[in-house]
Chain A
């Protein structure tokens, strides 16, 4: 391996994308949001495919933001990135587990005969992980 590559591996940031990808990532997120709100007005895709595609575009955008390098990367930010990922995983999992019961509890307060309903968390749970990661990473960076 070349010296430059070795240095990157040592720093632990060899998997990260260039900083400008943070701005490139806005494109799929915006496309996803636009597609989600305008799906009824287009004729190319059916409703389910359009919704799913919008969700995946937003996920792709957030993944690019998550994996983009900071402007001035150093060991502290790498440390915070790892910490944020760990917290995001735990917070996301707790949220996924608690949400159906919380929803059931809240809806049974207002309606009788409510059933416990577990919705498909496939896309939604990944989105939670990403949001949690970004929030935690931002929060740690503010904690100077």
Chain B
């Protein structure tokens, strides 16, 4: 699953630490999500979308490998 969190962070001029504080997780978790090493729960995905005021589909996108 691809995501555009780092792009949204840049648009909103937020660091990983800022975002982690806003949604109540560790900075390492944000880093893992951005690198697609960790797929967040629906709750966390919605919280991130709410922080950036965008729909969740704009943040996360399925890849071909996810269809297998």
Taking Cβ atoms with an 8 Å cutoff, the residues of A that contact B are 72, 74-77, 79, 141, 143-144
15 contacts between A and B (CB under 8 A): A72-B26, A74-B25, A74-B26, A75-B25, A75-B29, A75-B40, A76-B25, A76-B29, A76-B32, A141-B28, A144-B28, A144-B31, A144-B32, A144-B35, A144-B37
Q: Which of A75, A77, A144 contacts B41 (CB 8 A)?
A: A75
- Give the distance in Å from the alpha carbon of A76 to the alpha carbon of B26 in the complex: 9
Q: Which of A76, A77, A79, A143 has the most CB of B within 10 A?
A: A76
Contacts of A75 in B (CB 8 A): 25, 29, 40-41, 43-44
1/0 contact trace for B16-32 toward A, CB 8 Å? 00000000111011011
Taking Cβ atoms with an 8 Å cutoff, the residues of B that contact A are 24-26, 28-29, 31-32, 35, 37-38, 40-41, 43-44
Query: Which chain A residue has the least Cβ–Cβ distance from B34?
Result: A144
- Give the distance in Å from the alpha carbon of A52 to the alpha carbon of B24 in the complex: 44
- Give the distance in Å from the alpha carbon of A87 to the alpha carbon of B48 in the complex: 30
Min Cβ gap B5→A in Å is 14
- Give the distance in Å from the alpha carbon of A144 to the alpha carbon of B44 in the complex: 18
Min Cβ gap A90→B in Å is 21
Contacts of B38 in A (CB 8 A): 76, 79
Q: Which of A74, A143, A144 contacts B24 (CB 8 A)?
A: A74
A74→B37 contact, CB < 8 A:
no
Query: Which chain A residue has the least Cβ–Cβ distance from B35?
Result: A144
Beyond A74-B24, A76-B40, 18 additional contacts (C-beta under 8 Å) are A72-B25, A74-B29, A75-B25, A75-B29, A75-B40, A76-B25, A76-B26, A76-B28, A76-B29, A76-B38, A77-B26, A77-B29, A79-B38, A141-B28, A143-B37, A144-B31, A144-B32, A144-B37
